[in-house]
């Protein structure tokens, strides 16, 4: 290990012990950040782990909505986000309240019908437009949006969550691609928000064709935040945790990875005998990469940046998460 990194790591470990802290790292974080974490995983998985651990502090190496989820599930613990500016553009594409919406049909997606709302409007506006229709909120949303929803979902369980509801129609926010994928796998009507992950959204059919040409023996795994036409041309559609499980269990030895590049570190680490190739070389989330070892050390030293969800938001947001966990 580089001496500077070793020194940073040693200092972090001392603070972690002194403050009875748990360090969590999302799968998309830098390699050196993943290596100092107690647990590496997806956002909800990590928050659920933290809620069961005996600790006083949670240092969440991820983005803001993830630290909020940890605060929702562990209100008695201090939650630190090492980089205050680490946000999620998709989560920011929907707000709990704002001006009146205008409905428009999403082009090229007719069966089953899906309607998309532009991100400058609000969840409350959509709920008024469709009274009585339950709202399914992706975990990649703010605490306020979770609080205004009926139930949460992950990229792995979105179809199961939708099927668990008695209504024949659901509102899904904020990712249109995940919503369209869900709509392909349920007979229910999906009313979708026009949000997206700017990293997964950039993947095109041409990228898929190029990757397959370069790696003809590889299995293509794609995250459901990718466009529907990309998912249609993939071998396996699943979440980051699903990719890890699939790659470990598969007899195949080569994989094209259709998600943020940070997952490649863990895939290589857990499957050293197998080969993994990015679907695109620029699938790098700048927000996920903001956190460094220096960020984590500063968070410990300065007790920054504290993320605390107020009770009037936390309680209904937790209710939405709890309802989802009953479905799993």
Q: Is the pLDDT of residue 149 over 70?
A: yes
Q: The tokens 């399914």 sit on which residue?
A: 136
Please report which confidence band the pLDDT of residue 4 belongs to, taking 50, 70 and 90 as the band edges.
Answer: confident
- What local confidence, expressed as pLDDT, does residue 5 receive? 84
Q: Is the pLDDT of residue 77 over 50?
A: yes
- What local confidence, expressed as pLDDT, does residue 1 receive? 57
Q: Is the pLDDT of residue 107 over 70?
A: no
Is 104 in a helix, a strand, or coil?
A: strand
- What local confidence, expressed as pLDDT, does residue 98 receive? 63
- What local confidence, expressed as pLDDT, does residue 103 receive? 43
CA 8 – CA 248 distance, rounded (Å) = 32
- How buried is residue 116: exposed, middle or buried, by Cβ count under 10 Å (0-12/13-18/19+)? buried
- What local confidence, expressed as pLDDT, does residue 64 receive? 96
Q: The tokens 């809620």 sit on which residue?
A: 51
**Domains (range + CATH), the chain:** 3-86+288-312 (3.40.50.10800), 92-195 (3.40.50.10800), 203-278 (3.40.50.10800)
For residues 131-139, average pLDDT: 97
Model confidence pLDDT, tens digit, residues 241-293: 999 999 999 999 999 999 999 999 999 999 999 999 999 999 999 999 999 99
| Average pLDDT over all residues of the chain | 92
- What local confidence, expressed as pLDDT, does residue 109 receive? 38
Q: Decide if 207 contacts 222 (C-beta within 8 A).
A: no
Model confidence pLDDT, tens digit, residues 151-171: 999 999 999 999 999 999 999
More confident residue, 97 or 134: 134
- What local confidence, expressed as pLDDT, does residue 144 receive? 96
- What local confidence, expressed as pLDDT, does residue 65 receive? 96
Give Cβ neighbours of residue 253 (< 8 Å, ≥ 6 apart).
217, 273, 274, 275
**Helix residue ranges, H only, the chain:** 3-18, 31-36, 43-52, 64-73, 123-129, 143-147, 158-164, 176-184, 198-201, 205-214, 228-232, 240-249, 263-270, 293-302, 311-327
Q: How many residues does the chain have?
A: 328
Model confidence pLDDT, tens digit, residues 6-50: 899 999 999 999 999 999 999 999 999 999 999 999 988 898 999
- What local confidence, expressed as pLDDT, does residue 14 receive? 97
What is the arrangement of strands in the sheet containing 135-138, beginning at the earlier edge strand?
104-105, 114-117, 189-193, 169-173, 135-138, 151-153
- What local confidence, expressed as pLDDT, does residue 111 receive? 42
Q: Which two tokens stand for residue 92?
A: 């920011």
Which of these, 235, 218, 215, lies nearest to 226 by C-alpha position?
A: 235
Model confidence pLDDT, tens digit, residues 201-251: 999 999 999 999 999 999 999 999 999 999 999 999 999 999 999 999 999
- What local confidence, expressed as pLDDT, does residue 117 receive? 52
Q: Is the pLDDT of residue 172 over 70?
A: yes
- What local confidence, expressed as pLDDT, does residue 44 receive? 85
Q: Decide if 123 contacts 135 (C-beta within 8 A).
A: yes
Q: Decide if 303 contacts 15 (C-beta within 8 A).
A: no
């Amino acid at each position: 290990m580089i001496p500077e990194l070793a020194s940073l790591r040693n200092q972090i470990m001392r603070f972690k012990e002194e403050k009875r802290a748990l360090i969590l790292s999302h799968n998309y974080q830098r390699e050196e950040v993943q290596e100092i974490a107690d647990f590496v995983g997806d956002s909800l998985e990590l928050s659920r782990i933290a809620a069961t651990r005996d600790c006083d502090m949670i240092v969440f190496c991820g983005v803001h909505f993830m630290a909020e989820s940890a605060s929702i599930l562990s209100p008695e613990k201090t939650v630190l986000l090492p980089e205050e500016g680490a946000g999620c553009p998709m989560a920011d594409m929907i707000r709990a309240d704002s001006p009146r919406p205008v409905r428009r049909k999403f082009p090229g997606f007719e069966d089953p019908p899906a309607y998309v709302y532009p991100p400058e409007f609000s969840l409350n506006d959509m709920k008024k437009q469709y009274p009585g229709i339950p709202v399914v909120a992706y975990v990649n949303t703010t605490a306020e949006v979770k609080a205004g929803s009926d139930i949460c979902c992950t990229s792995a369980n979105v179809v199961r969550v939708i099927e668990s509801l008695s209504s024949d129609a659901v509102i899904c926010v904020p990712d249109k691609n995940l919503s369209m994928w869900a709509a392909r796998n349920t007979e229910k009507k999906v009313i979708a928000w026009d949000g997206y992950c700017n990293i997964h959204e950039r993947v095109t059919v041409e990228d898929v064709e190029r990757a397959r040409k370069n790696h003809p023996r590889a299995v293509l795994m794609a995250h459901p935040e990718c466009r529907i036409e990309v998912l249609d041309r993939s071998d396996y559609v699943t979440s980051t945790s699903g990719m890890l499980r699939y790659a470990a269990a598969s007899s195949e030895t080569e994989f094209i990875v259709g998600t943020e590049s940070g997952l490649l570190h863990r895939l290589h680490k857990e499957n050293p005998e197998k080969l993994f190739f990015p679907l695109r070389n620029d699938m790098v989330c700048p927000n996920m990469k903001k956190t460094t070892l220096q960020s984590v050390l500063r968070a410990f030293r300065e007790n920054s940046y504290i993320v605390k969800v107020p009770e009037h938001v936390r309680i209904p947001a937790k209710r939405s998460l709890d309802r989802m966990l009953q479905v799993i």
